């Protein structure tokens, strides 16, 4: 069986992002059948429909192509003001345009981490709503909200919390099965 190609997107641009740590954790706990590449999106400009009318910027085209080629997408994002970080939503908005937008029928798993107690629960429901509009196939359960994140990762970005490791590992195993189920449906 061929290895599933998974794209990882982090909703935070911060170098020491705890969501990037969570994303890396997901990558490390994936079954052997999956391999994740974390892909950057910081070059994507501010969305402007007048710019889009002249053609999609190269950074958008490249990311659209990378996501389209992937078997699945793992998103780890912080919550900003109870919702999706503006810069990340901007990137999603660019990617979402056109009949050939890359989220259509794409299996997606999401997780979030926050120093607060809810672990970004609210951002995930906003992101699920956006993913619904773009016809993505979002894994329902298990949901992963990493609250109190500052105590769960060490200075090297390694997760020191066994419960978090179990939840993230369970989610990645469920995502493996979800990708197979989506492939059978299509």
Ligand X SMILES: Cc1cc2nc3c(=O)[nH]c(=O)nc-3n(C[C@H](O)[C@H](O)[C@H](O)COP(=O)(O)O)c2cc1C
Binding site for ligand X (CB under 6 A): 12, 14, 17-19, 78-82, 114-116, 120
Q: Is the CB of 151 or the CB of 181 nearer to ligand X?
A: 151
| Beta-strand runs (E) in 52-181 | 72-76, 107-113, 137-138, 144-146
d(CA 160, CA 165): 8
Other CB atoms within a 10 A radius of the CB of residue 89 amount to 18
Smallest gap from residue 8 Cβ to ligand X (A): 13
Smallest separation, CB 44 to ligand X (Å): 17
b/e map of 29-55 (b: 16 or more CB within 10 Å)? bbeeebebebeebeebeebeeeeeeee
Q: Whose Cβ is closer to ligand X: residue 4's or residue 144's?
A: 144
Q: Which is nearer to ligand X, 14 or 35 (CB)?
A: 14
Strands 4-10 and 34-38, by their bridges, are parallel
Select 132 or 150, whichever has its Cβ closest to ligand X.
Answer: 150
Residue closer to ligand X (CB basis): 17 or 101: 17
What is the C-alpha separation between 117 and 58, in angstroms, rounded?
39
Q: Which is nearer to ligand X, 57 or 115 (CB)?
A: 115
Minimal distance in Å, beta carbon 6 to ligand X? 19
**Half-sphere exposure for 78 (CA within 13 Å, toward CB):** 19
- Verify cis geometry, omega within 30 degrees of 0, for the bond prior to 142: yes
Q: Least distance in Å: CB of 140 to ligand X?
A: 22
CA distance 107 to 176: 10
Q: Smallest gap, in angstroms, from Cβ of residue 89 to ligand X? A: 13
Q: How far is the CB of 74 from ligand X (least distance, A)?
A: 14
């Amino acid at each position: 069986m061929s290895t599933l190609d998974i794209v990882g997107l982090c909703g935070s641009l911060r170098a020491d992002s705890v969501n990037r740590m969570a994303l890396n954790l997901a990558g490390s706990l994936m079954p052997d059948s999956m391999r994740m590449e974390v892909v950057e999106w910081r070059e994507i400009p501010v969305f402007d429909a007048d710019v889009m009318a002249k053609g999609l910027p190269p950074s958008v085209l490249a990311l659209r192509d990378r996501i389209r080629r992937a078997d699945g997408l793992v998103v780890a994002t912080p919550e900003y003001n109870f919702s999706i970080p503006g810069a990340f939503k901007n990137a999603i908005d660019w990617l979402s345009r056109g009949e050939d937008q890359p989220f259509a029928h794409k299996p997606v798993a999401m997780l979030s981490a926050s120093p607060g107690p809810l672990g970004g629960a609210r951002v995930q429901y906003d992101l699920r709503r956006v993913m619904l509009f773009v016809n993505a196939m979002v894994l329902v359960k298990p949901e992963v909200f990493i609250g109190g994140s500052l105590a769960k990762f060490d200075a090297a970005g390694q997760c020191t919390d066994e419960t978090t490791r179990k939840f993230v590992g369970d989610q990645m195993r469920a995502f493996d099965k979800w990708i197979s189920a989506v492939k059978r449906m299509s």
